[in-house]
Structure 1
């Protein structure tokens, strides 16, 4: 019954959001509306693109929601058993390829998907197995990288070959939690529990290969989130179980950054800076929440503040921008 109600809600939001003409811009949008926020909400098993201006969002009523997507009830994904594979959606990003925009999403149940925005057509989707698919990125050749934490692997799927392509290259990475394609270095960066690795993607698009070209030990353990620092070129955000770090890709070292004493915190599930304003967005578990790894409150810096999703159980939240560096 809950799944049927959720599907009905998503259908309503889908009609009221984009149909009203309130579409986030591809690059994040500096306009009056501000850069939207995308959040993976495990309570409703959905991904939401949210207006950044309100102090709170009520996704059950569509308040503040610009767009949404869920694998639940999608006939075109029935072969991937979304009832199980879409459990606990964990990642959500905006990317562009060939002039088109895509939502990238993963779920702990194993589903990884690249979905057209705003049309929701599925570019590629796969069941990656029981390894807790935790992060995803889209490569310039149309292939898709996935990191799985309990599976301990980073894969590049030959997604350019078809919407259900399963051929892939794989490298082991203990506790793989984050993956990011960096256009400056033209390397795929992946974050494990104890190290950050740089991978070179080789071979033809329909039969890719992966080679580790550099490894950096983490300054603190239990790596979790990996994202570009959009305000400083050549840097990556790296969160761990106890801190938030920045890494300089050209120097292959972790470096100091402004306001680190205020920004760094334990257990941060996602972090990023708004390319339009420089404001920092963080998601970290909320004390007392029924879901021990979730939150209904997002934290901001520069300026400081919080925003709340009514009855939310968000895991990661990011600025809705396709910028990578």
Structure 2
């Protein structure tokens, strides 16, 4: 069953049985933050061109909190502007989409129901916070990186969908987060460094403790690296994708170094890459890079594919990030 684009306010469209089907087998679908229409979309990987106005079947799932009573208290009319993250995670027996938006929205959304696991409004309408990504921890708590706010927050989301208690640590330009289950640390990336935080305290009163930090590679000595995307390398456990303003790297956790020795580096490595990720079954990599002439300078209509080269185009879109649909 394909999940269509209707009923977006509820985050899901259902087929005639009233039940949602699992994602079909084959190449993984693509999950995007579509800022022009303020939606998260899961799109058909078999189509080179995505044009829902002409072919609604390209949309397998859609989410927006606007008009959804389950998210009314976090004021999505104000806070859900420029959705900046969408990544899929498994927690317990459930699949969740983690999402943030630049004007303060942060949430963990159950797929496919759109049910609220947790959501918060981190200063709606106030760009001094700017949530840029999120991560869910094994105990059910949720970390949020606030780029303009220069902080990483760890919310006691295990207390419930409306929990507001949090711990925080300062990190200039906080952009990326990844929970490292093997080492039991929360990796966070800012403008200039990659940091590992230990999680201490209790489930209901957590604390973040800095354990380790390493400077990001810089293209020009004395200037900020501009750390942006941090994501696990699915095909090589123990490595993380790292993008900066000028380049793309993998960080070897055990070796403690940044490298560009990965397959396809000649085409993947370039400046202004907003997100990067690989499919472990095929080795294919997705990236997004801004293109000129759109509504915002950071938007694109193109999801680039590598190994082998290719692309998807979203008609009249404003894509920020695109990730393979790979629950982990």
Structure-2-length-normalised TM-score: 0.90
Using the TM superposition, name which of 10-19 and 311-320 deviates more.
Answer: 10-19
Aligned residues of 2:248 and 2:260 also touching (Cα < 8 A): no
Q: Give the equivalent residue in structure 1 for 2:98.
A: 104
Q: Give the equivalent residue in structure 2 for 1:311.
A: 316
Flag the 1:304–1:20 CA change in 2: closer, same or farther, 3 A. farther
Offset at 1:287?
Answer: 2.2
Tell me, in whole angstroms, the C-alpha distance in 2 between the residues paired with 1:21 and 1:162: 25
SS class of match (2:77): helix
Alignment of 1:268 onto 2:273: yes
Considering only aligned residues, what root-mean-square deviation do their CA atoms show, in Å? 2.0
Using the TM superposition, name which of 109-118 and 14-23 deviates more.
Answer: 14-23
* Pairing of 1:76-91 with structure 2 (within 5 A): 76-91=70-85
Cα deviation per residue 1:35-85 (whole Å; 9 max; x = unaligned)?
111001011110011111110112345231111110111112111110110
Aligned residues of 1:23 and 1:66 also touching (Cα < 8 A): no
Aligned residues of 1:35 and 1:276 also touching (Cα < 8 A): no
Q: Give the structure, 1 or 2, with the largest relative contact order (CA under 8 Å, sep 6 or more).
A: 1
Offset at 1:290?
Answer: 2.2
2:194 to 177, 193, 196: 196
Q: Give the equivalent residue in structure 2 for 1:245.
A: 249
Tell me, in whole angstroms, the C-alpha distance in 1 between the residues paired with 2:230 and 2:11: 33
Tell me, in whole angstroms, the C-alpha distance in 1 between the residues paired with 2:12 and 2:133: 25
Q: Give the equivalent residue in structure 2 for 1:136.
A: 134
Aligned residues of 1:17 and 1:66 also touching (Cα < 8 A): no
Tell me, in whole angstroms, the C-alpha distance in 2 between the residues paired with 1:93 and 1:162: 21
Alignment of 1:42 onto 2:35: yes
Q: Give the equivalent residue in structure 2 for 1:300.
A: 305
Q: Give the equivalent residue in structure 1 for 2:14.
A: 15
Structure-1-length-normalised TM-score: 0.91
Aligned residues: 312
Aligned residues of 1:17 and 1:65 also touching (Cα < 8 A): no
Tell me, in whole angstroms, the C-alpha distance in 1 between the residues paired with 2:303 and 2:92: 32
Using the TM superposition, name which of 179-188 and 15-24 deviates more.
Answer: 15-24
Aligned residues of 2:9 and 2:68 also touching (Cα < 8 A): no
Aligned residues of 1:7 and 1:73 also touching (Cα < 8 A): no
Tell me, in whole angstroms, the C-alpha distance in 2 between the residues paired with 1:18 and 1:51: 21
Offset at 1:97?
Answer: 1.1
* Pairing of 1:279-294 with structure 2 (within 5 A): 279-294=284-299
Cα deviation per residue 1:206-238 (whole Å; 9 max; x = unaligned)?
000001111110002100000001111100000
Offset at 1:162?
Answer: 1.0
SS class of match (2:14): helix
Offset at 1:136?
Answer: 0.5
Structure 1, unmatched stretches of 5+, are 1-5, 26-30
Using the TM superposition, name which of 177-186 and 253-262 deviates more.
Answer: 253-262
Offset at 1:322?
Answer: 1.8
